Structure formats: structure tokens, C-alpha cells
Structure 1
Amino acid sequence: MRVLTAAVIASLSAQLLAAEAEGDKVIVTGTRLATRTATDSQSPVDVLSGEDLKKTGATDLNTVLSRLLPSFNFPRPSVTDTSDAVKPAQLRGLSPDQTLVLVNGKRRHTTAILNTNGTQGRGSAPVDLNAIPIEAVERIEVLRDGAAALYGSDAIAGVVNIILKKSPSSGEAVVGLGQYGEGDGKHSNFGVHGGVSLADQGWLHLSAAYHDQGYTNRAGADYRNPAEPRYGQVNQRYGEPDSTQRSVFANGQFNFTGGVELYAFGGYTGHDTQSAGFWRPALDSRNIPSIYPQGFLPLETSSSEDQSLVVGLRGALGDGWRWDTSLNYGENTFKLHVDNSLNTSLGATSPRSFNIGSLKNGQTLLNADLSREFTPSWFKGPLALVLGAEARRENYAISAGDAASYYGTGAQVFAGFRPSDSGSHSRISESLYLNLEADITEAFSAGLALRGEHYSDFGDATSAKLSARYALNPKAAIRATASTGFRAPSLAQQYYSTTTTGFIGGVPYDVRTFAVSDPVAKKLGAENLKAEKSRNLSLGLVLQPLRNLNASIDAYQIDIDDRIVLSENLTGSAVRSFLATNGYDGVDGGRYFTNAVDTRTRGVDLVSTYHLDLGRAGTTDLSLGYNYTHTDIRSIAANPAQLSENGLSLTRIGRVEQGRITKGSPSDKLSLGTDYKRAEWTLHGQLTRYGEFTVYNANPAQDQTFSANWVLDLAATYRVGRVSITGGVDNVTDQYPDTVLAANSNSGILPYSNSSPYGFSGRFLYAKLGYRW
């Protein structure tokens, strides 16, 4: 074997430049070879440039990804407690926390909250992608393949790698305004980013953003009780919440003598949200008329803070070896208040505002690896070898609210965290990994990854991945992967506990989420959680019949054993009595996390792009993306005996949760995009067809399948020198999902489904003014 020579390095650089010139994009996700591109990758990787992100007109990453990636689903639930503030997003219809998020290739921390109400992603505690401002992002690479053997826990559905801007000189400032067609949801945003050179030995790129959005309301009038003082009026808020976000990010590098590089990046995001609970009528038993004679709408006011910092050193050891070591810290703190509320247990002296408490989730990660590219004489190209080790400490803490928030029945809509809920929990994981990847012949490349991990709270997990690509000819290639993976139960899933108001069959219930270690949960059949295990298979065809035409089609299968889900809401008079006997008076039901479900997800991704040069008439870029995903439940663990004892007759995993897993996301999604450029003008159009989805009910007669729908987004940009002016309309034809069956809509008060993949606020109009330097 021989290490890379200067001539070989020069040749690789030339290949890289040639690939970029032909429109193919060099990637860093899922590979360690310096010249690997999206087209010749052994696994499907989507590369979204900064221009791709901007042309959508969206100001948050989840919305951007939902418009650009057919396999990405981003519903916008409302009246779902903390899920209003951190909305769930799914890749390939799987749970939000089964997608790993990286920033510059380093693991991003997850949010502290759990999506516990009836939304897609129920029971997950994912990364809040919207905490990363678009202004800071250079590009995004999405590895649509299980990659736990490469990156560790959470990569069952795929990996989203966010690459931060690194220009040492250029920058841009943008200001924008917008509102929905109904006249509400007014939006204003300001973003700026720019770079500076550090004495010709490095660079620093800074980004800052501010976004403010008013709430939307698509609730119906309340006609339930003619005796109510506000009968026939719109009392509820149902739609996008009030939201304000502030972000500052930095990304930098400094080069020391001797080839050692210091790199660092991180940021801070503060996000304040106010969303509505469910209206309490004046004559409701949960109201105190002397406090609210007209009834009241409780408001949940949350404050979320994300902060992160990664610092690392990298360099060369000689003989072709390179080293990289980094320290990664990230933390999310979530504080919740309830306003315009009361605690019926305190009577007429009840406060109207309550401190519910706070949640904190953090990670500290130390990583070190060695890498080297060899050029074996029997290989056509280089062989990349990576050896690494990683240690990660995770922390999760719950702080109790004020005494009035949890006393008795607790604050309306979201009872405070009790002292018995509070506590601090941590665990340590250690891992070793090996990656090999090579271009073995001119037509055949392959890769191998192995990873072993040890967790202090549940033991060991191992994963492996094999991948290969074979070029049938210069215009067609096949690729395939086979891998095993895992996802460790989050600390939040093990220890989160509180009581909130949720809807079951359209009726509000006060339901307690129990930690699996809680003695009451044990009496209901709860068991200690273990890691999810996955087996991923994919087979794809890559085509480049013309220089400017690229297409790929990939079929995949993902089997997940011991999938962690939140049980059904266990309710009924017997449960209410059982909970009252065990110290939870006034609570209607309970739920807990369980490894009770095995699933199989199958699907197909189709992606195609075409660049058309029209000469003096300009250029046109066309794109087509399609995803079909279907999930089946292979088995459900036997119902715990405890759920049939003590007068109970309950099912841990019923048809509502089964339906959410198998039918709650759109069955398919088709996206057609076009970008036309001529002189100073750029025109963008995006037409998306969202497939049908189904919401199950405990009563099969109340199941509802929502029809597919087309949504059209249009935008135009005019550039004069360094100034750009953009005007756009999202959802041009003002499409809404089907209205919910009367039996499921609280008598028409909540007329749209929270599972709608494009929300239910209608047409949005916006304008932006930008300046580049």
C-alpha cells in the first residue's frame, strides 16, 4: 500500500472541481472520501443548497424541508400543549426522534419536551430544527438511510446534516413581512449573516435572526349550550400560535502553524410561544363563575432556550494519518406558564396565572477519531479508513412549578409539575466505531461500518452497515445497503411525568403521563424501557442519461423491533377510581411508555432534476420528487395482566395508536418544482400533492380518511446590483384539508385535523428585501 502523494491529491482536487462544474454535489454525510458526490454515493443523499432553502420563501427549517423533500412530513398541530411550540416532523413516516440531526457533522441535542397529545410523533422528544436559523445554513445534506453504525443512536429513519456558512467575506441582510389571507398571522422577520477573515489564518462567520408571527384562528363558533352567555360565538383559538424567536450563530476556524486547525461553532436561540388550550364554558364544572362569568380560554406561555457549542482540533500525524478531536455541548431549557386559568381546588381565591415548572435536556460529548486514505495497488481509487471513540453524557431534569399549579386538580389545561415529578437524571454512553469505504474498481465501490455502544442505564447496543454501488455503464448505476441500527430510549421517555388536558374522541380529558418507574405505572403494567432495534434494507437505481438530467429511485424496508410508543390513554370510571385511590384525585386517565410494538415500513423515493439552458431566453431548472411510504404493525406485545385486574378492562395499545403509526402520515407525496432565471428576474414555482391520511377513533364509525390535495407556491425575485426584492404567495389557491366529522370536532369548534401535512391556515402572502455584499 502507499499513502496519497501530492500528485494524487492534485488529481482528486481536479475530480472534485469537475464534479461541481457538472452540477454534481460533493457530500460529507455518510462518507469519508473527499471526492464522494451525491450521484456516486452508495446511499441516497439529498443535497439542498442555500439558494434551494431561500427560494421556498419559508423562514423555518421544518417548513423548508417539508417543501423540498418528498419523504419529509411536517404537520402543524394546535391545542396540543407543548407540541404547539415544538411541532413534530417525520422522515419516511417514522417517529421524529428516529431521525438523527447533525450540525457540521456533530450530533445536535434534542428538545426537553415530549409530544404527548394526539399528534403525529406522539411520545417523541426530537431535535427542534427550527431553533437553527436559515440565515446560518450553507446547505443541508439528508441521508435517507439508516446510519446508526456511522453515527450512533437515533439514525433509524435517516440523518439530517446541517452545514453552517463559512465564507470569510460575503454576507447578506434580509427583511421580510407577510400575513395569511384571512388577515391574521402577521409575520415579520430580519436576518443577517457575514464573514470576516482572521489575519489570513482563518475565518469567522456570524449569523443573527429575528422572527415574529401572530396567531391564526380557524376555530368554529360554539353552539353546544344555549344557556351559555357566549353561545354561538367563536371562543376558541385554533391555528398557528403567537411566536417570537431570536437566534445568534457562529462558525469559525483558525489555522495554526504545523497544519493544526482549531474549529468552533455554536449558537443561542430563544423562542417564546403563546398557544391556546381548550375553551372552558361559564357553566363548565372546571370553571369558577365568580372568576370567569363568561367562561375562559387558558393560554400556555412557554419559553424555550437552545444553546450549543462545539470546539475541536484537527490535523495531520504524518504518513497520511489525520486526527480530529472535539468537545460538543448542547442544552435545551423549556419553561412553561399558564395564564388566564384557575385551579378549581383553590376555589374563588385561585390565582389566574401559574408557573408550571421547567424541563432541561442536555448532552456533553467527547469524540476522537483517526482517518487515512490509502491507495492499494489492487484498488482503482482510494480506501478510506476511520477509527474512532466517543463518550456522551446526557442529562434530563424536571423542576416543579409553584404549589398552586399542582395542588389538588391543578392548574387548568396543564397542571404543574409536582415535587414528586421533579428530579435530575443522567446516563453515560461509550462507543467505538470503524468505517471502511473504497472505490474497488472503476465501476464498483463498497463500504463497511461497525459500531459498538455501552449505555450505563440499559446495557449494550451494536450496529453494522454494508453498502455498495455498481456502475452498469457511464449513465446508470445500482446501489444497495443493508444495516442494523438502534435508538436508545430518551431520558425524557423514561422520566417525564405530568397531567395535561387532551382530547379523546373529541372529548377533553385530564390525563397523566407516568414515568415507567412510577409505582402507579407499574400497577398499570409499565416496564423498564429498552432500546429499539432496526434492520434497514435499500435498493436503488441512479440514472444520468443526459449531462443535465439526474434521476434516482430507491426502494427501502425498515423493520423496527421493540418500538417505543406512548400507550393509549387509559380512561374510564374504573381508572378514575383507581387513580384517586393512588393519590391522583380528579385525573381521568393515565398513560406510559412501552416497547410494545414491532413495525415494518416500506416505501419508494424518486428524485429527478433537469437543467435546461434556453440561451438568451434564460435558464430553467426542473425538479420532480415522489415518496410512497406504508407502515404495518408486525406484532403487538401481549396486554399486561394488570390492565385486567382491580376492576380494570383496558388495552395498552389500541386502534387509535395503531392508526396513528400506520395511517396518520400521508401515504404519498409528489412535488414538482421549477426555477426560471432571465437577466434580473427569477421565478419559482412549487406544486405539491399531499396524499391521503386516516385518523382512527376508538369507535370505528368515527374513523376518517382525509383526501389528497394539491398546494401551489409561487414567488418572483428581481435583483438590481446587490439588492433583491421578492414577492411570493404560498398556497395560492387557498387549500384547506377536509373538515373533521362533527363527532370528532367538538361540535365544529375544531374543524380541521391536526395531522394535516400542510396545516390549516390557508393562503400566505409575503415580501422580502435583501442586500448582499
Structure 2
Amino acid sequence: MITRIVVICCLVSTTVFAQNLRGHITDASNSSPLPGVTVLIVGQQLGATTNGEGDFSLKLAPGRYRVRFSSLGFETTEQAVTVEATENTTLNLALKPSQTSLSEVVVVGSRNLNRSVTDSPAPIDIIDVRQVTSKTGQLDVNQLLQFVAPSFNSNRQTGSDGADHVDPASLRGLGPDQTLVLINGKRQHQSSLVTLFGTRGRGNTGTDLNTIPAAAIERIEILRDGAAAQYGSDAIAGVINIVLKTSTNQLTANVNYGAYQAKYRFDDQKFDGGNLNVNANYGLQLGKKGFLNLTGDYNQRQHTNRANTPGIDSTLQRRQYGDSKISNASFYGNAQLPITTNTTLYAFGGINSRKGDAYAWTRTADSPRNIPSIYPDGFDPIITSNILDGTLAAGVRTNLRGWNVDLGNVFGSNRFDYGVKNTLNTSMGASSPREFNAGGFQLQQNVTGLHFTRFYKDKLQGLNIAFGSEFRYENYKIFAGEEASYKAYDITKAAGSQGFPGFQPSNELNKSRTNLGVYIDTEADFTKAFMMGAAVRYENYSDFGGTLNGKLSSRLKISPAFMLRGTFSTGFRAPSLAQTYFNSTITNFVGGQAVQVQIAQNGSAITQALGVPPLKQETSINGSLGFTSQLGSGFSLTVDAYYVRIKDRVVLTGQFSDDLPAIADELKQLNVSRVQFFTNAISTRTRGIDIVLAHHAQLGKGRLNTSLGINFNSLDTISVNTNAKLKPYKDLYFDLREYYFVKASAPPSKMNLTIDYSINKWAFLLRVVRFGEVKLANWNYDATSLDIYRPKATTDLSISYRFTPQVGLSIGGSNIFNVYPDQHRADLTESGGAWDPVQMGINGAYWFGKLNFRF
């Protein structure tokens, strides 16, 4: 169906229409044609993109217009033009390269400031956030990328403790902590949360993208290639670079509201999960070339409930199953101030405050974990979160004897405080409080970097040399909750607060480490057609020692319309401090029955008794090979195959029970019956291919943009890394369920077809996303009866209208046909609902309206 639709749309969009505004855009520095330049009619949703020869065409009604030309690495330019009714108008223009020594244009994947995304040797996606958010229902960055970028995957979790409040995300099917996140090219800190439940990111510590408001973002650059040799640890799967807005003298504001259509409910409530977002962005000009851009954003999201699913025994289900309630407030700023002709100060950062309520598993009226005098009908504990996240970066860029120099520092902090309400401590009897402070954790990171870059225009056809150093400090803390949140006052009863037992004094810790990295990164254009790059990076950790990694990349232009590209690199990822030191007691539900599980710290008495070795870094080999092509006027095609092999991957093991003699006494002393821990358990191999087909054309008096993005991805476990002591427990060490959780980081295929048509003041968007089949092993540990989620497709539709150049409205729906994943037994799934959080999620259709203002 998708193939048929895209073929029809592409054929229709190639229909020839008379044009009355044409033009040719070149690079002012060398007179070469510039493909991919955005041509926009100011004040209207009408524009074009230059083709491979730098040409564009538009059909406009007679009149006077202002036309804006923009391209990464070049100065944005506006021209006034008068279109006559009787003859064509020609507008030729040469764009000047940006003054990158003062106002760097960040394009991730290359430190060559003269390199554009169109001639990069590695695949890069550039996502214009304003264009996406104005027409689609997604409000936060994770969900925005989930439905725009085929190689990116993120699902909201439910019944997953901390992951209900921080959405884990992955790139190319690898772990959330194997993707490096940058803001304005600077390393962003990770979340302090290590994910213990859910289908994605299990055992990982990823970066919380939702701390950054979409309203503050100009664009998102996704490097789909291993880049540890360029940027350091975590960049095995790729790099996501978030570029903040720099606009001035313009106020933009948005008011958005939407709600989910509840297909599966027994009550009369047809809609839930109301989502209100209000944001504003304004830029001030500082001097002649400086700026201060500020963004405020507030989002209020209500619970959804997809429990009580028809056809499933109600006694086997939770009473509350769905999205957590979230209140999210952010304030971000981005500033730059030239102080001389060669020197510029810069600063950016922001603060995010999030408060959440997430339902835990139901405690029934007759449960031994309930006190009927307090909750006669049983109760649904609510895990609350209070998350405070902040980033502050500052530095100076200058030009020193022909070298572009960047000296900067970025500090980041993420603190996560847990609470539990609508609960009790069973061991306290009828006197138990109903609300507890359960403690939490914090991660802080400080990075100081000094970077040098120089482009030699007269060497070969261009030679770029970059080198530098970064020093990173990290600190991780766990702090205990109040005594009643974890203590057993009657040792015959369950200890601590139901839903989430608090952290104990024995869990508390304060651990730090440092890292020093040095690198050199070169790119040489041997001819105008052939380029090669090489990077080498050495890093030394205070707790893991040193590692040396390298990368080779190349690009060959066979013709102006066809280019081959490829990369090969080695990579690494140091285990996070959370993976190394996290320890706690959690309540898990196995087949619907509550079980106390100890997450044991690596190096503890339990892990030593089992012979578990100390954690060490993951290492990888990455390769990619692909091509880009201009298939005639307005068509572009990119195809990139990739291979990633990771050795000693850190995962959370399966659960060892107290019937093992080596650990039985330890577990009984802890009053738990099972134990899990982090270890370098497996080595994996990922193979895949990314395909992006795009077409831009004039259609009638409007502009039709059609794109089809496809990702095919396959992950295999090469080996399970055990020793003589662990070998008898190999099936527990990395069990069937954990194997399928790792594989489920991404569906084996994901396809995104987008059709975007703009005419005068109207814009229409149709998007179809197909998710491939996902398989998960449930609590019966039976490989012959997996939970299989068959392929499903969602359809999004929106209509936008600009009443004036200052006011616009968008209305529409996401997943308008109310598609859900396949249902399964709630008591056997990981999260206790009829679906695991896979594919498009479990909430169904979402209907929204967006009012936007520009002044």
C-alpha cells in the first residue's frame, strides 16, 4: 500500500506546470551550484528547494514578495521580487558562506566548517523542528523523532518505575546509552535514571531528550554512524545534535491541546490523556551581530487508562494501566556576543522541572500486601517523581593565527526524587502512613574542552585539520528515603512502601570519576570529487583506564547527481556510574505475584559469590557504505547499509533465585527472593539499511513535498560471556526474556511516508508509519509461545491555515484509525497490561489543535 501511494504521489507531483518565478543559486566563494537551498515566500506556507543543479521554480500570483534563501553553512538572505502577470521572473543569487569563525554552523559528523550536509561521508538527517511541530500532534522531542526518523525509536513505558517519567530512546536498534547527545555541539549529560523495566532501554542510562523544549530548537541533526573516535564515549550508534534557536526580533508563541480517543474502556469516558502545551520564544539582538534567544515552555499531560480490556479476565489485569501524569516546565536560553572582529563569547543552557504520577501494579483487597481497614477495595499505588535537570555552557570562540579556537565549559545535573502515595507499609499495620518519601539519585557532569580547527584552502582541493582535548568529571549519588519507606517493622510482612520500596541507608553512595580525552580529526579533498577523512581519539578513565579508537571516512562524487560514501571505525562506551554502582530492592510481579528483587551492585558479596567479573567498557566495530543520488529534477535518494558489532555489552541479567546455595544466605538476610545485576554479559551484531527517497515539485499553485524513509534492522547475539563459575547458570545469566528485550529495542523494520502539500495560506499533511513485527518472551519463559506483535501502520492527518502572516491554526489527528498493538495476557506481560509498550504505543488515536503566533 505504501509503495503504491508514494509512486502515485511522485508521478502526480512531476506534472509540468508553467512557472513564473525561476532562479539559480550558487556558492559565492566558488560559483558552484548549491543544491538543497530552502526558498521560502515570507508570510506564506509556500516554498521550494533547489535541485542538484541549484535551480528552483515557483508559481505565484502577480504581486510583490519577499523571498528568503537559507542553507546550512551559508548566510540567510532575503530578496524583494515583483512577479508580473505576463512574463516569467528570474532571480539568480550567490549565497555567501557563513562567518563560521565567529558564528559556527554546527553540522554533526564533521569538524570541517566548510563541509555541508549534502557532501558528508556519513548519513545525516536534518530535522527542521518548527516545520514538524507546527503540523503534527507530537509535542515532546522523543515522540516527535519517533514518528519522523525511521532509525529512531522511543515508547512511553507504563508500570516501569522511573521509566514512566523518563522515556528511553534508541537509534538503529541499539541501547539508549549508545547514542551520544550534543547541544550546540557540546556533550549533554545523561539522566541519573537507570532503566530496570520495560521493553526498551532495559539496563541503560540514556539522555532525557524531553528536558529540552521543542520550542527552543531550530533543528535536530542525527548522525547515523559510529563516532566515538570523533566525540568520545557513547557514540556507538550515532550522535544526536540539538541546535538551539538564534533568531532575533521575532516573538513566536504556541498554544496546543489534544486528547486520546479511548477505544478500550468499559466506562463512558471516550477521551482521556488531555495534553496542554503553551510555549513562547523571543530573540533579542545584542549589538550588531550578537543575540539572546529565550524560550519558556509548559506542558501538562494527564493519565491515560487502558486497563479493563475486553476479552481479558479482569482479575488478571491492573486497574490502572497507561501513561503517567506529567507536569513539565522548561526555560532555555542561547546567547552569543562578539567582543572583537575575531572573538565571540557564547553561552546557552536551561532548566527543566518535571513532576509525575505513575500508577504501579494493583494490590487487590485480599492481597497479603493490603490492609483492608485502610483500603477495603484494594489500592493502586502511585509512584511520584520530582525531577530537576539543568545545563549551563559558556565559552569563547576566536581566530588565532588562522586557527579557529573554541574554549568552553558545560555543566549538567539531573536529580530524580521518588515518592509514593496512595500506598502503605504492610508491616506497620493499620497505623501505616499512606504517603512516603522514597529517596532517589543524582548525576552531575562537567566537561571542559579546548578545540582547534583550521581549513587550508590552498592545500590539495581543501584540507581541514582539527585537534583538541576534553576533561570530564562525573559524580553519581544515591540517597535514602524515610525509614518507613523501606523498613520491615514486622519481619513476617512485606517491608516498605508498596509500589516502590524506598532506598535504604545501605544503598547510599557518592561516587566520582574523571576522564581525559585528546583527539585529532582531519579531512582532505584530494580532488573536487574525492575526499577522505581520518580521526583518532585517546581517552583515559580514572576507573577503567585508557582506550584508543580510530575512524576512516570517504566520499566519491561519480557525477553531480551521484555520490558514494562510506566509513569504518572502532568505538567504545564506558559503563555509566549508575550501571557500576546502582543497588536497590524493587518489587516485581511474576505471573501476577509480587516478588522482592535485589538489584545488586557489581562487586558486591552476591556478585562475587557468583563469580561475576568487574564491569569493563564496551567496544565496537562500525562500518557503513552507501550512496546519494539526484534522480532528476526534485528527486533525491540516499541508501546506507550499516554494520555494528559490540563486544562486552552491559546488560541487566536475568533473575537468580534464593534456591542457589552460593547466594541463598545473602538473599535471606536481605529479605528478598531474587537478585539481578549489571554485567558485560553479551556480544551483539547489528546489521541494517536506511533508505530515504524524497521529491519536491510544484503542483498547481502549490508545493508538494513527498518523502519515504525506511529502516531495516536486525540484531543478533553472537555470544554470552560467562566464566567457569557462571557457565552452569548461563540460561539465567542472560535468559530468554532479556534476549528478546534487547532485540525489541527497535522493530525489524520501520517505514515513514509523508506527503506535505502547501498552497497559498493552506497546508495539508498526510503521514503513514508502518512498524514491523516485535516479539517478546513473557513470564512463562516459553520460546514456543512468545508475545508476537504483528506489523501495524498508523495514519496521521493535519490541516493548517494562516489567517494572517502572524496567526495560524493547525488541526488534525495522529493514529486517526485508532490502531493498537496486538493484545496478550496481562498477567504475563512485563508491565501488566494487554500490551507491552511497543510499536505505536497503547493509547490509540490522538486529536489535537494548535494555534501559533509570530510577531
- Asked if Structure 1 and Structure 2 have the same fold, meaning a TM-score greater than 0.5 normalized by the shorter chain, the answer is yes
1:611 corresponds to 2:696: yes
Mapped partners of 2:674, 2:755: distance in 1? 50
1:518-557 paired onto structure 2 within 5 Å = 518-557=604-643
Structure 1, 338-347 or 104-113: larger mean CA deviation: 338-347
**CA displacement at 1:12 relative to structure 2:** 6.0
SS in 2 for 1:546: coil
For 1:420, the equivalent position in structure 2 comes to: 506
Distance, in Å, in 2 between the alignment partners of 1:349 and 1:741 is 36
Alignment deviations for residues 136-195 of structure 1 (CA, whole Å, 9 cap, x no partner): 000010000000011000000000000000012223011111111121101111010010
Distance in 2 (alpha carbons) for counterparts of 1:538 and 1:233: 47
Please state whether the residue corresponding to 1:58 is helix, strand or coil: coil
Residue of structure 2 equivalent to 1:45:
124
2:193 corresponds to which residue? 113
Change in Cα spacing, 1:438 to 1:419, as seen in structure 2 (3 Å) is: same
Q: Which moved more, 1:622-631 or 1:287-296?
A: 287-296
Q: Which residue of 2 aligns with 1:193?
A: 281
Q: Match for 1:731 among 815, 829, 833? A: 815
Could you tell me how far 1:493 is from its partner in structure 2?
0.3
- Structure 1 residue aligned with 2:44: none
Could you tell me which of 347, 365, 371 is aligned with 1:264?
347
- Is 1:512 aligned to residue 573 of structure 2? no
Matches within 5 A, 1:430-445: 430-445=516-531
Q: Answer with 537-546 or 193-202: which moved more.
A: 193-202
CA distance in 2, matches of 1:124, 1:412: 25
- What are the ranges of 5 or more consecutive residues in structure 1 without an aligned counterpart? 1-7, 226-230
- Structure 1 residues 313 and 740: CA distance shift in structure 2, 3 A: same
Q: Is the 8 A contact 1:524 1:643 kept in 2?
A: no
1:504–1:664: structure 2 CA closer, same or farther, 3 Å change rule? farther
Contact 2:423/2:435 (CA < 8 Å) preserved in 1? Answer: yes
* 1:331 aligns to 2:389 (yes or no): no
Cα distance in 1 for partners of 2:666, 2:281 equals: 56
TM-fit CA distance, 1:376: 3.9
Task: Give the equivalent residue in structure 1 for 2:375.
Answer: 292
SS at match of 1:345: helix
Is 1:142 the counterpart of 2:222? The answer is yes
User: Is the aligned partner of 1:458 residue 2:544?
Assistant: yes
Indicate the SS of the match to 1:560. Answer: strand
Superposed, 1:72-221 pairs within 5 Å as 72-182=152-262, 183-220=271-308
Are 2:29 and 1:11 equivalent residues in the alignment?
yes
Within the candidate set 432, 443, 446, 2:532 is matched to: 446
Alignment root-mean-square deviation, CA: 2.4
Q: 1:426-472: CA deviations, max 9, x gaps?
A: 00000110010122111101111110000000101111100001111
CA distance in 2, matches of 1:650, 1:609: 46
Q: Is the 8 A contact 2:448 2:470 kept in 1?
A: yes
Contact in 2 for aligned 1:221/1:233 (Cα 8 Å): no
Quote the Cα distance in structure 1 between the aligned partners of 2:708 and 2:478: 45
Q: Where does residue 694 of structure 1 map in the other structure? A: 775
Q: Is this contact kept in 2: 1:363–1:394, CA < 8 A?
A: yes
Of 338, 344, 352 in structure 1, the residue corresponding to residue 426 of structure 2 is: 344
Q: CA contact under 8 A between 2:651 and 2:680: conserved in structure 1?
A: yes
Using the TM superposition, name which of 438-447 and 11-20 deviates more: 11-20
Deviation at 1:545, TM superposition (A): 2.2
Task: State whether residues 664 and 695 of structure 1, in contact with CA within 8 Å, keep that contact through their aligned partners in structure 2.
Answer: no
Question: Which residue does the alignment assign to 2:103?
Answer: none
Check whether the contact 1:671–1:687 (CA below 8 A) recurs between aligned residues.
yes
For residue 566 of structure 2, the aligned residue among 480, 484, 491 is 480
| Correspondence for 1:34 among 93, 110, 113 | 113
Structure 1 counterpart of 2:760, one-letter code? A
Cα shift at 1:19: 5.0
Where structure 2 has 5 or more consecutive residues not aligned to the other structure, the ranges are: 1-25, 40-49, 52-70, 74-105, 263-270, 489-494
User: Which amino acid is the alignment partner of residue 335 of structure 1?
Assistant: D
Identity %: 38
Counterpart in the other structure of 1:597: 682
Distance 1:371 1:749, change over 3 A: closer
Distance 2:211 2:777 in 1: 32
Q: Deviations over 1:589-626 (max 9, x none)?
A: 1100001200000000001211011242x110000000
Q: Distance in 2 between matches of 1:156 and 1:719?
A: 43
Deviation at residue 198 of structure 1 after TM alignment: 1.3
Q: Residue 252 of structure 1: CA displacement? A: 0.4
Q: Give the distance between the partners of 1:290 and 1:573, measured in 2 at CA.
A: 35
Stretch deviating more after TM superposition (340-349 or 185-194)? 340-349
Q: Give CA-to-partner distance per residue, 1:690-741, whole Å, 9 cap, x none.
A: 0001002422243122100010011111002210011010101000100014
TM-score (norm 1): 0.93
- Aligned partner of 1:540: which letter? G
Q: Distance in 1 between matches of 2:373 and 2:724?
A: 45
Amino acid at match of 2:125: D
Q: Is 1:558 aligned to 2:633, yes or no?
A: no
Shift of residue 14, structure 1, vs aligned partner: 7.8
Contact 1:555/1:604 (<8 A) preserved: yes
Pick from 384, 387, 394: which aligns with 1:304? 387
Q: Structure 1 pair 350/62, CA: closer, same or farther in 2 (3 Å)?
A: same
Taking the aligned partners of 2:31 and 2:184, their CA distance within structure 1 comes to 21
Closer/same/farther in 2, CA of residues 410 and 387 from structure 1, 3 Å limit:
same
Q: Which amino acid aligns with 1:430?
A: L
Change (3 A) 1:742 1:245: closer
CA distance in 1 between counterparts of 2:575 and 2:318 reads 40
* SS of aligned partner of 2:507: coil
Asked if structure 1 preserves the Cα contact closer than 8 Å seen for 2:136 and 2:812, the reply is: no
| Structure 1 Cα separation of the partners of residues 309 and 528 of structure 2 | 67
2: CA distance, partners of 1:239 / 1:254: 46
The CA deviation at 1:504 is: 3.7
Distance 2:620 2:407 in 1: 29
